[in-house]
Structures are given as C-alpha cells and as structure tokens.
Amino acid sequence: MAGIEDVARAAGVSTATVSRALRGLPNVSDATRRRVLAEATRLGYVPTPSASSLATGRTRTIGLLTPWVSRWFFANVIEGAERALRDVGYDVLLHTFVVRRDEPRRRVDPDVLRHRVDGTLVVGLPLDDDEVRSLVGLDRPLAFVGSGPDDQVTVRLDDVATGYAATRHLLDLGHRVVGHVTGVPDLVSSWSPPAERSLGYVRALAEAGVDVDRELEANGDFDVEGGRASTAELLRRRPDVTAVFAASDEMAMGALLAARDLGLRVPEDLSVVGVDGHDLGEVAGLTTVAQDAYQQGADAALLLLEMVNGAPVPQRLTYPTELVRRRSTGPPRAS
Amino acid sequence: MAGIEDVARAAGVSTATVSRALRGLPNVSDATRRRVLAEATRLGYVPTPSASSLATGRTRTIGLLTPWVSRWFFANVIEGAERALRDVGYDVLLHTFVVRRDEPRRRVDPDVLRHRVDGTLVVGLPLDDDEVRSLVGLDRPLAFVGSGPDDQVTVRLDDVATGYAATRHLLDLGHRVVGHVTGVPDLVSSWSPPAERSLGYVRALAEAGVDVDRELEANGDFDVEGGRASTAELLRRRPDVTAVFAASDEMAMGALLAARDLGLRVPEDLSVVGVDGHDLGEVAGLTTVAQDAYQQGADAALLLLEMVNGAPVPQRLTYPTELVRRRSTGPPRAS
DNA sequence: CTGTTAGCGCCTTCAG
DNA sequence: CTGAAGGCGCTAACAG
C-alpha cells in the first residue's frame, strides 16, 4: 500500500531519487541508496507495475503463445521458459490457441499482446505469414520454439535429421515396408516439423532404395487417438507394413494401442518408433528419438531476453536428438 | 499506436465518451456509440492495459500458481483454466514454484502478485498458513484447485473417497496385503490430497478387517521415478505384497516399471491401481480412479471470476471420480 | 447524454 | 548527486 512518495518522505529525498536508488541506477550516493532501500523495505514498498509500465513502456512480461499446455512437448517448453524468465524477474502471460482437426483456429491477434508484453515466444504454433507479420508489427522481440519462419529467431531440432534417424533405425533393423504417422493434414506454414520429419522419412527410404508410397503415410493429429486411428488405417491399406515411424511419442503410443487392438505383437509383428523422449516412454517400452524440450524453452526465453535488452542473438539454435532404443522396435518377422 | 484522444477527435466527442462507448457503459446514445466504434476500428485503437489498470485498479489478469506445468494434473488444470479465462478476455499470469524432495521451495511472495492480478488461482500447491494469509492479504479473490484450506474456495476431489475406492477395488479382487505409494514426505499443510488418499486407504483396509502396517506405505514424490523406487522399497520390506495403490497415475506407472524391474508380472504377481485418468493410462493398461482435471481448472477459473465480480460462490466444488478397470489389476495369485 | 477536470503511481528529462 | 515538474494513457466523478 505504501507508494513511492511515502518512501521518499521517510527517507527524506525526492521520489526521483527513490526511483533511481531502487532500480540500481547510477547517480545516487551510497548513503542515500542505503537509506532509501531501508525505508522501502521497512514500509514494504513495491512499485505498481501498471504505473511503471505506463511510464516506461516496459512490462517485464513475456507472452507465450501455444496450442496446448497438456502435451508433452509444450508442457516442457513452457515449464523451461517460465522458470528461466521467473529467475530474472519476468512474468509469463500464457495464451493458448485451440487447434482442432476441422475448424480453423482463432487467429493470433497482436492487439491482445500490444503494450502488454516486452516480447513474444511462439511455442509450436504454426502461423501463417499474415500472423507472423502482425507479430513482427508489434515491434517487440519475437522468438519461436519447435518451428518458425526462416527469417525469425528459432530454437528447434533438425527435423529432417530427426525423421531420417527414426526411419533409418527401422531400416537398419531390416524393415522394408515402413509406415509413417505424421502430424497435420494441411499446413498453414512451410516450416512445419511434421513436414520436415516426413521429408527425413522419405529421404531415408529413398537412400535405402525402398519404394515410397503415399499410402504409407497417414495423419495422426499429434495425439494418442489420432495415432491409433491412423495406424489402424495404415495397416488396413497396407497389411504388409512391419514398422511405423510416428512423428511424436504420443502418436506412437497410439500406434501401440492400434497394434494391440488388432492383435499384433510389438515388435514381432509391428515395430514402432516415436519422437520426443516422453517421460512415460519407458513405461510403454517405446523406442524414440529424444529431444530436450525443457531446455529448448529455457534457452528460447533467454534468447528473447537478450533481444529485449538489445543484444545480438543467433538466428537459430538447433538442438541435438538421441535415439533411445527400447522394446517397441526389433527386426521384422521373417516373412 | 492510436490513442483514445485520436479516436475522440475523429469521432468528434470527448475521451470520456470514447471510453464509455467502447466499454459498453450506459449513457451513450446509439448513434454516438456506433460512430466511436467505427472510428476506433478504423484507427485500430486498442486501449493500453497499463493505463487502464492504473486508472481502474483492475488488470483483467489472473495469477496461476503451480509447482509444475509438465505433469498431467497440473497441465490439464492450467489448460482448462486458461481457456475459460481467455474466453472472457482475461489473461493468465503463470507462476511456477520448483518443488523438490530435499530443499525447501521458494516461498510464495504476494508482492509479485500485488497490483498485477485481479485474483489468484492456486493449483495443487501446498501452502503453509503464512503463505495463505499473505495471499488473502492481497485482498483479491483467491481460489484453490486440487487442495486448499477449509476456509477458502476450493475445487477438488473427495480424496478420502478416492483413496477408499482405489483400495476397495483391490480388496474386492481378493488382495489382503496392499501397499500404498503416497505423495509427499512432510506436509506443510493439513489439507493435502496424498494425506487424505492415504486416509481412505487406511479406512478401506480397516473396514475389511485387514492389518494396517506403516511398512506398507512409502513416499513416491508424485513422479514416475519416485513411484518406481518406492514400490521397489515396498516390495523389499514386504515381499508378500500383492497389490499397490499409488496416489497418482504417474507414480502407478513407476510401480509398473518396478514390477518389470523385479521380473514380476502385472497383474498376476502384482496389481497396480492409480489415481487421475492419465491420457496414457490406456497404453500402460493402468487401472485408475479417474478425475477431470481440465474441467476443474475451467470451473475454478469461472468461480474466481464470479468472485472478482462480487458474486457469491459456493465454498467448495467436489468433483466425482470414476474407477476405470484395465489390465493392471486382477485377483492375487492363489498363494 | 456528454464534456471537463483530476487523478491513478511512477519515471524522466532538465535544472541546479 | 538531487529535486521539481510534466507526462505516460485512461477512467471516474461531477457538472451541465
């Protein structure tokens, strides 16, 4: 409840000096600063954010845009980013965008962010060019995690390499008819991870001299039920499939369910590999190409802060992945 | 970039009228309102939040306090709350608190929330009395999800009944030596769900005339690895255990891993039941007492908004749970 | 129904 | 090194 004026009065200085002293600005004598600090503490003074925002234009808040919080990748990125930001006294404003199969999602509206954040972190949300432009138009730092336009600061995997690694693992085991459960049906942007993972898949097949067939790919919408349904569909179309590469662990878990539904043993009848390194992957015995989502969130947040502070930052941080072999993959049955 | 003054000038009215018109307040003629709206839209006017906060004392922001975002219950509550709030134009400020086994966590600091939120939602974060008092001292609406003090608005399960239901299911299957993997070692508050679930466990055992033994309980820290370790410990202490009730699905998954580690078959050698209804429970074949975390988050958010608007709200919303039977539970082996 | 006038609480030149 | 004073952009009485 104490205002800056109370502190000023108590310390016998002006409000300007209090402001300077408390924010660690120069041009305040040590003695004065100590006195101000002491009085501020004693009175329990805390600056009113809206007042200082109004005066400075800064909010010490970062906007976090994401389609979900309850999925592995997103939850971990958010957690990593929030903690990194909190550590330096920044708040996180959470904005989710419902993304559904059929209906188009609500568009990203820069007006909701304007004057409300010092920067924006877009987590795994595919934006069209207009949306990106509108965020750029906020004239505040902008960074992407998981995927992002080529000309924006982005923290992500090498998704082509990731898809390649997963597929290659299956090929190395001897599989020759490999299905692919991918992420999204229609891409609003050209920089989508599922598209690139799919490219890696195709590349690995081609390199191995294996036929690539559109019938071997199906959309699993990045969730368990989608993975289950599309794997079932895949197996209906091509009963000779012996392995499936799913573009996320959650879809891969769906693939495991589909196998069980159909009475197929894993990995004897069907091998499954995912992407993520989901916490529960071990329980399911899921082979996966693992990534560190938490750290990507934290690093992206730090990058964004650098930008907020006007420091130069690398345009792109590419994270490593690691193949984790578990029970869900093995050599195909001898046919 | 256009300010309220620009709109006022363009519409040929005062800023006060613009403010009234745009916020749908009475005492503005239809014609004027339309004109103002048109000009505001044309100029792309959006009120600066910090300015209106400073003037009104309202922020249209809710603070969300939680220990994690990457765990099932928390992620779903957060998602539900965020969407409910966004729908009515409220922002969510996310605050996480690292909770670790050993070290004490950072204390909840009301100063970070002061003048920054219109209300606070505490999600599954055990607070001590001082912390609760400090939040109450903010003089803003406060609500809890998952657990909360008796005298505060809380949305939660009947945790005693939940623990009872899970344990009862095992007893009904014929188990007589039932272990319990609980949540936390030392409770900072008396209203913790793990403590109540444990109470339900004890009650069910007592009712069935089965001995209750402290050795049959172990702390699993609410995560997979904790569940794994404590289940292993449990089985070491009491090799005659035939079933385990874990206070969360994530710990239950850990119990499944422990069983596998020890070469025990589930459910023939060990039955496992959890609590939550985790999305991946089906993949693991996990029997569970399911709850709807998303809806609890959404409802708590709505309750909080009612309070912000000065409406009376029920002190307590108790959510139903439902036993979902899967492969992880079955009758004990005939000994 | 509409305009005028003070603030809301802090920051930031500009003097001194 | 410090203080005075204006202003950030909007809202809330109070007149009219």
Residues packed against strand C, CB within 7 Å: A 3-5, 15-16, 19-20, 22-23, 45-48, 51-52, 54-56; B 12-17, 20, 26-29, 31-33, 51, 54-55
For residue A44, the chain B residue with the least C-alpha distance is B111
How many angstroms separate the CA atoms of A170 and A167, rounded? Answer: 5
Q: pLDDT-derived band of residue B197, with 50, 70 and 90 as boundaries?
A: very high
Residue B98 scores a pLDDT above 60? yes
Q: Mean per-residue pLDDT for B36-63?
A: 95
Give the residue with greater pLDDT, B25 vs B101. Answer: B25
In the predicted structure, residue B334 carries a pLDDT above the cut 80: no
Judged by C1' against the alpha carbon of B52, the nearest nucleotide is D10
What's the average model confidence in pLDDT over B65-72? 95
Residue B184: pLDDT band with limits 50, 70, 90: confident
Sheet holding A287-290, edge to edge: A217-219, A178-182, A243-246, A271-276, A287-290, A322-324
Nucleotide nearest A32, CA–C1', reads D1
Q: Is pLDDT at A186 greater than 60 in this prediction?
A: no
Residues contacting residue A264 through CB under 8 Å, at least 6 positions apart: A235, A270
Nearest CA of chain A to the CA of B234: how many Å? Answer: 19
Among residues A49, A23, A18, A50, the alpha carbon closest in space to that of A35 is found at A18
The Cα A144–Cα A63 span in angstroms is 12
Contact B224 A280 (CB under 8 A): yes
- The yes-or-no verdict on residue B191 having pLDDT over 80 is no
Question: Average pLDDT, stretch B99-103?
Answer: 75
Interface test with B, best of A41, A46, A53, A70 (most B CBs within 10 A): A70
Q: How confident is the model at residue B1 (pLDDT cuts 50, 70, 90)?
A: confident
Q: What is the pLDDT of residue A9?
A: 92
Closest alpha carbon to B283 in B246, B326, B323: B326
Token readout for A82 is: 């929030």
CA distances from B332 to A97, B164, B176, B255 (A): 47, 19, 9, 16
Residue A273's pLDDT band (boundaries 50, 70, 90)? Answer: very high
* C-alpha span between B31 and B42 (Å, rounded): 16
Q: Do B284 and A282 touch (CB under 8 A)?
A: no
**Length of chain A as a residue count:** 335
A-B Cβ pairs (cutoff 8 Å, strict): 131
pLDDT of residue B209: 94
Q: Is A64 in contact with B96 (Cβ distance < 8 A)?
A: no
Question: What does the pLDDT look like over A131-169, one tens digit per residue?
Answer: 999 999 999 999 999 999 999 999 999 999 999 999 999
Those residues with Cβ within 8 angstroms of residue B56's Cβ, 6 or more apart along the chain or in another chain: none
Q: B86 vs A96: CB contact, 8 Å cut-off?
A: yes
- Chain B positions in Cβ-Cβ contact with residue A284 (cut-off 8 Å): 280, 283-284
* pLDDT of B38 strictly over 80: yes
Considering any atom of strand D, list protein residues whose CB lies within 7 Å: A 12-17, 20, 26-29, 31-33, 51, 54-55; B 3-5, 15-16, 19, 22-23, 45, 47-48, 51-52, 54-56
Of A144, A153, A110, A104, nearest to A124 (Cα)?
A144
From its phi and psi, is residue B223 left (phi > 0), alpha (psi between -120 and 50) or beta? beta
Asked if A50 lies within 8 A of B46 by C-beta distance, the reply is: no
Distance in Å from D5's C1' to B57's CA comes to 25
User: What is the band of B188 on the pLDDT scale with cuts at 50, 70, 90?
Assistant: low
Residue A284 pLDDT greater than 90, yes or no? yes
Instruction: From residue A169, give the alpha-carbon distance in Å to each of A220, A289, A329.
Output: 21, 10, 9
Yes or no, beta carbons of B79 and A98 under 8 Å apart: no
Cα A305 from Cα A299, distance rounded (Å): 10
pLDDT-derived band at A99 (thresholds 50, 70, 90) equals confident
* A26-66 pLDDT, tens digit each: 888 999 999 999 999 999 999 999 999 999 999 999 999 99
Backbone CA torsion sign across A283, A284, A287, A289: negative
Predicted confidence (pLDDT) at residue A333 exceeds the cutoff of 90: no
Which pLDDT belongs to residue A190? 65
The pLDDT of residue A209 is: 94
Q: Which residue of A lies nearest to B109 if distances are taken between CA atoms?
A: A46
Residue with the bigger pLDDT between B1 and B44: it is: B44
Please give the average per-residue pLDDT across B166-178, as a whole number.
97
Residue A102's pLDDT is what? 73
B186: left (phi over 0), alpha (psi -120 to 50) or beta: beta
- Of B41, B30, B34, whose CA–CA distance to B7 is shortest? B41
Give mean pLDDT, residues A101-115. 86
CB within 8 Å of A329: residues ≥ 6 apart: A169, A170, A173, A243, A267, A271, A272, A273, A287
Which residues on neighbouring strands pair with residue A157, listed in sequence order? A319
CA distances in angstroms from B17 to A222, B32, B49, B280, listed in the order given: 49, 8, 18, 54
With a pLDDT cut of 70, the percent of chain B lying above it is 98
With contacts defined as CB-CB under 8 Å, which chain A residues touch B96? 79, 82-83, 86
Computed over every residue of chain A, the mean pLDDT equals: 94
Contacts of B100 in chain A (CB under 8 A): none
DSSP assignment of B133-156: HHHHTTTS-EEEES---TTSEEEE
Q: A187 pLDDT exceeds 60?
A: no
Say how far B30 CA is from D15 C1', in Å.
Answer: 23
- To the nearest whole Å, the CA of B137 is away from the closest chain A CA by 11
Residue with token string 């100029």: B43
Compare CB distances from B75 to A75, A86, A111 and report the shortest one's residue.
Answer: A75
Could you tell me if B166 and B201 are in contact, meaning their C-beta atoms sit under 8 angstroms apart?
Answer: yes
Q: What tokens were used for A75?
A: 């939850």
- Measure A14 CA to D5 C1' (Å): 12
pLDDT tens by residue, B122-170 = 999 989 899 999 999 999 999 999 999 999 999 999 999 999 999 999 9
Work out the burial of residue A6: count CB atoms within 10 Å of its CB; fewer than 13 is exposed, 13-18 middle, 19 or more buried: middle
Q: What is the rounded CA–CA span in Å between residue B257 and residue A285?
A: 10
pLDDT band at A13 (very low <50, low <70, confident <90, very high): very high
Q: Is-contact A175 A244, C-beta < 8 A?
A: no
What distances in angstroms separate CA B261 from CA A70, A222, B67, one per listed residue?
29, 30, 30
Minimum CA–C1' distance nucleotide for A17: D2
Q: Is the pLDDT of residue A176 over 60?
A: yes
Comparing alpha-carbon positions, the chain A residue that sits nearest to B97 is A83
Lowest mean pLDDT among A30-34, A191-195, B94-98, B130-134: A191-195
Spell out the alpha helix ranges (H) of B192-320: 193-207, 224-237, 249-261, 281-284, 293-308
Q: What is the pLDDT of residue B155?
A: 97
**In a mutagenesis test of the B interface, which of A54, A283, A292, A327 is the best target, namely the one with the most B β-carbons within 10 Å?**
A283
Nearest nucleotide (C1') to the CA of residue B8?
Answer: C3
Q: What is the pTM of this model?
A: 0.95
Q: Is residue A251 pLDDT above 60, yes or no?
A: yes
Average pLDDT, chain B: 93
- A69, A91, A250, A251: best to mutate for the B interface, most B CBs within 10 A: A69
Q: How far apart are CA B21 and CA B33, in angstroms?
A: 5
pLDDT of residue A294: 97
> Partners of A272 in the beta sheet?
A244
The backbone torsions φ and ψ at residue A253, rounded to the nearest 5 degrees and listed phi first, read -65, -40
Amino acid at B14: S
> Which bases of chain C come closer than 7 Å to a protein CB?
1-5, 7-13
Which of B91, B105, B139, B276 would you mutate first to test chain A, the one with the most A CBs within 10 A? B91
CA distance A152 to chain B (A): 24
Q: Which residue is nearest to nucleotide D6 (CA to C1')?
A: A55
The winner for highest mean pLDDT among A123-127, A290-294, B28-32 is: A290-294
Residue percentage of chain A with pLDDT more than 90: 87
Please name each of the domains of chain A with its CATH number: 4-48 (1.10.260.40), 61-156+293-319 (3.40.50.2300), 159-291 (3.40.50.2300)
- Per-residue confidence (pLDDT) for residue B28, from 0 to 100: 87
Residue B185 has pLDDT above 80, yes or no: no
